[in-house]
Structure 1
Amino acid sequence: MKITVVRPGDLGDSELTRWRELQKADPSLDNPFLSVEFAVAMDRLRDYVRVAVLHDGSGVAGFFPYERHSFGIGKPLGGFLTTCHGLIAAPGLEFDARALLRACKLTVFDFDHMVAGQPTFAPYEADVRPAPVMDFTAGFDAWLDQVRSNSPKNLKTVRYKERKLGREQGDLRFEYASADPEVLRVLLGWKSDQYRRTGRVDRFAQPWIVELIDLMHAEHSSDFGGVLTMLYAGDTPVAGHFGLRTATTLVGWFPAYDTEYARYSPGIVHHLQMAEAAATAGLQMVDMGKGGKEYKDWLKSGVLYVAEGRVSRPSPTAAVHWMGRTPFNKARTIVLDRPSLYRAADRVLKGFGRVRSSLRPEPAKQAVKEPTGAN
């Protein structure tokens, strides 16, 4: 096996075509974060993005996209932004992971959302987690029957709030695959507010992440695209989501809502309407990603599996990295395993967010002009 390392943007047309062929040939790779379009977009914005191209005697056998940071520390492409990573290769391809790291000039590679069971990385999996999905392969009605079976009380409550929202705030309208950049700005504003309110780091404070979202929003091919959805009450947007899709799978990424309408549970109302719209558009699945949100348990009709683990080559850098990362990873696993701890941690973060907001100085009062064009 021969390995060459290039930037995704330097891949030729034949290699781009081969990437897409390999992805479509293996159902476990049906995730937009594994698509070549995402890798190319990341390469446009970040200097540390690379892809290892694996050649066997008959041609290209696989692609391994990754990030190479200082001291040879390797991270999955997109890191904390993504919910899936892995080797895009022919089903069953097995390659020595340490030899792969050597070719990539990496001393260590940590993963936490690896496609579970890939032969190259399976020996290094420390934990495997379920990622709940909404599965529409049997049709939207079959999925809704499963949701009703999961929790009839929850579904009844959300449907009641849905009717109440429309009755009190204006007729509901759902927009699927909006191309309006101003609608995207509304959603990102809600999400930034949520990050700050809950004590988390505002991802959109980093301009390159906003630029990445804009690039993804502009993608509209048959195999890959950004999907912006918005729920309106009358003419007022109340809840939305931006995610990525392949031809058949939509991945949850950035859901948010206007807290002024929180009493109506607009986020869950939106998710139900998004599911129906996605199924109508021909998608077969919405991947909600692993994580401790309780609403995922009753919206799910199936699961995928992702793995956490670590590959390293003997070096002082790898040893130091292990000492810094292992306690954090173990603590996170313990919290995710126990819903009571997850809720407690969430309350602590929200409390921190409230304190941080109260300490933020008030902006100077000034006249505010309404925006007249795209940001």
Structure 2
Amino acid sequence: MDITVHRPGELTEADRLSWTALQSKAHLNGLPELANPFLSPEFTLAMGQVRRGVRIAVLREDGEPAAFFPFQRSTTGVGRAIGLGVSDCQGLVHRPGFTWDARELLRACGLAVWEFDHLVEGQAPFAAGASGSYPSPVMDLDQGYEAYLAQLREQSPKFTRTTLAKQRKLGRDHGEVRYVHDERDPERLRTLMAWKSAQYRRTGRSDRFAHEWITRLVQRLFHTRTAPFAGVLSVLYAGDVPVAAHFGLRSERILACWFPAYDPAFSKYSPGLILHLRMAEAAAADGIAYLDLGRGVKEYKDSLKTRELAVSEGWVALRHPVAIGHRARRAPVRALRNTVLARPEFFDPADRLLKRLGRIRSRNRE
């Protein structure tokens, strides 16, 4: 096996097409999760425009590309999954039956350690270093929207009935409910980011859009459109007023949900839930097999999901002082966070405290 490492701009058009072809055929090869748009060359190339240290390892067999491994590397040899912190799917995109040695790959990439937090299933060489596995709920649409809605009615009849009733009431109170699946107005993207920033502050969470590189990444992906990939902004209107929006990434068969938000003035109508149902309907008509809601326990995800994938977090490391130091710093933080998230007796008080602090912070900004 031959491994070469490239900067994003050095990737040849032939290799990029090979990468895309592996994703396009992934569902036929029993590897459907590898078609996730976070694993696409477009996402990696966009990351290369906003962050340093982005690299792509191309693994070849008999001179032909067999796998692609995007990653980020520091000057000290600390490696991270591409987009760690914002990416909801990570790993190596490969042809069926391909195997690799994780430590050999790290050495070829100049890494002492490689950290991940959303490792896709089926990556045994990396999964050996996982410290935990976590559910990532999805909305299955491969049988069509009506089949999905029928399943939703069966598993959550009250939720489905109430959400559809709120949609009708929203229309009666504020004008015709209108949905645009692929909104191209950049002003609507700015509205969504403003809503999301306010939500982060209101709930005491760190505002991702306070990081310039994340804002630039989303804006760049909004304008990225190829045959197999696009950044998709979806907006729900009542009359001419936007009430909820979502920005995510689409591949040929998967819509990865990423940044949903709504106008709190319309919260009693649950516009975010209405938006997700409309997204599912439009995505099914567009040939999408499922919506990936992403890792994380949320009540709305439990209500909308039809099943769950599993993603892992952890790291693969060489016997190296840099790797030892990195794990010593990161392991306690990850362990504490996951303990709090997994146990209601810890999470609920912490969540209430964060929201209280968020309300104070929001009032101080007024």
- TM-score after normalising by structure 1: 0.92
Q: 2:29 — aligned with what? A: none
Matches within 5 A, 1:125-136: 125-136=130-141
C-alpha separation in 1, matches of 2:95 and 2:83: 22
For the aligned residue pairs, the C-alpha RMSD in angstroms reads 1.5
Matched residue count:
361
Is 1:272 the counterpart of 2:277? The answer is yes
2:256 is aligned, of 251, 270, 282, to: 251
TM-superposed deviation, 1:150: 2.0
C-alpha separation in 2, matches of 1:310 and 1:87: 14
Is 1:297 the counterpart of 2:302? The answer is yes
TM-superposed deviation, 1:237: 0.5
Q: 1:30 — aligned with what? A: 35
Matches within 5 A, 1:1-375: 1-26=1-26, 27-339=32-344, 341-360=346-365
The runs of 5 or more residues in structure 1 that have no matched partner are: 363-375
Larger mean Cα displacement after TM superposition, 60-69 or 302-311: 302-311
Overall identity of the aligned pairs, in % = 49
The answer on whether the counterparts of 2:140 and 2:290 sit within 8 Å (CA) in structure 1 is yes
Amino acid at match of 2:20: R
Q: Deviations over 1:115-169 (max 9, x none)?
A: 1221321322222222111111111111111111221111122122111111111
Q: 1:373 — aligned with what? A: none
Q: Structure 1 residues 35, 328: CA separation in 2 closer, same or farther (over 3 Å shift)?
A: same
- TM-score after normalising by structure 2: 0.94
Q: Deviations over 1:175-231 (max 9, x none)?
A: 110111111111111011111111122121222222211221112222000111111
TM-superposed deviation, 1:324: 1.5
C-alpha separation in 2, matches of 1:148 and 1:131: 21
Larger mean Cα displacement after TM superposition, 11-20 or 325-334: 325-334
The runs of 5 or more residues in structure 2 that have no matched partner are: 27-31
TM-superposed deviation, 1:70: 4.0
SS at match of 2:279: helix
SS at match of 2:257: strand
C-alpha separation in 2, matches of 1:283 and 1:343: 35
The answer on whether the counterparts of 1:133 and 1:300 sit within 8 Å (CA) in structure 2 is yes
Q: Deviations over 1:56-110 (max 9, x none)?
A: 2242211110011242111110111110010011123221111111111111111
C-alpha separation in 2, matches of 1:270 and 1:344: 30
C-alpha separation in 2, matches of 1:223 and 1:341: 42
Amino acid at match of 1:23: Q
Amino acid at match of 2:165: Y
TM-superposed deviation, 1:340: 5.3
Q: Deviations over 1:280-306 (max 9, x none)?
A: 222121000110101111211122221
The answer on whether the counterparts of 2:24 and 2:252 sit within 8 Å (CA) in structure 1 is no
The answer on whether the counterparts of 1:131 and 1:289 sit within 8 Å (CA) in structure 2 is yes
Amino acid at match of 1:303: E
